[in-house]
Amino acid sequence: MTPRQRALLRWWERQARDLPWRRTRDPWAVLVSEVMLQQTQVARVVPRYEAFLERFPDPAACAAAPLAEVLGLWAGLGYNRRARDLHRAAASVVEAHGGRFPAELGALLSLPGVGPYTARAVLAFAFEHDVGVVDTNVGRVLARWEGRRLRPSEVQRLADAAVPSGAGWRWNQALFDLGAGPCARRAPKCGNCPVARWCAWRGEGDDPADGSAGVAGGQSRFEGSDRQGRGRLVDALRAAGRVPAGGLAGAAGWPDDPARAARVAAGLVADGLAAWDADRALVWPDAAR
């Protein structure tokens, strides 16, 4: 183990955040946490993660439930397509793998909605494989360590190479906490960083993480966006189970723009998050069958 690896792991053992998904190696629970945490703050996820697993403790329970129930428990997390994909992934685990999660990268990538990041997170955090898990925090840390913007072909290779043998679980958690703490996007505290001596940047000059591969840019404005209208329509379905055609504009928050509301509702239907009933009212997909 290198001095940098030892220093980061020692720091993490003293500073580690106590998060519920770190107390399990159940691949289903790990997958649920990773999907919920995409573009959503930890504080919002914790209570919903626990409630979700109480209702759906395994893939079979989730797969057997109607999508409307899964989406109902997703309230407050946003990006409802993630719930749809999680429901589909649960069904795939049950149907293709007998309810047991595969522990191979290719098989995990075949699950609906599971991309390279999520597949590697399951490998590292459920099966404790020595693979690098690159989220936006880790991508930022790697670029700063290297002191330059990274190309897409480099990020995963550097992340994998940095993992100490036999310590994949701890190492990736430590990198997450480093990126969420001393190596944060804004106002990094390089003086508090346990591995600053091995960092090529150390807060001097332009930040190499800006525009680097693996580092997400800013999100588009939510207020007044189609995303906001989509969320309002899904919330209306959660409340009533049905939105009449004449009520779409009001439910979406655009009472003077029914064409926009209809377009956004059609997008929900195309994404499998809603359906039209015989009266052209918006309903849950299960209710239209």
Kindly list the catalytic residues: 34
Cα separation, 183 vs 196, in Å, equals 10
What DSSP string describes 141-176?
Answer: HHHHHHTSPPPHHHHHHHHHHHSPTT-HHHHHHHHH
Cα separation, 60 vs 66, in Å, equals 12
User: By C-alpha distance, which of 246, 148, 154 is closest to 200?
Assistant: 148
CA 215 to chain CA centroid, Å, is 14
Q: Is the dihedral of CA 46, 52, 57, 62 positive or negative?
A: negative
Q: Which residues pair with 243 in a beta bridge?
A: 282
Please provide the size of the chain in residues: 289
Contact 283, 245 (CB under 8 A): no
CA 198 to chain CA centroid, Å, is 29
Cα separation, 27 vs 127, in Å, equals 8
What is the β-pairing status of strands 242-243 and 282-283? antiparallel
Q: DSSP code of 200?
A: S
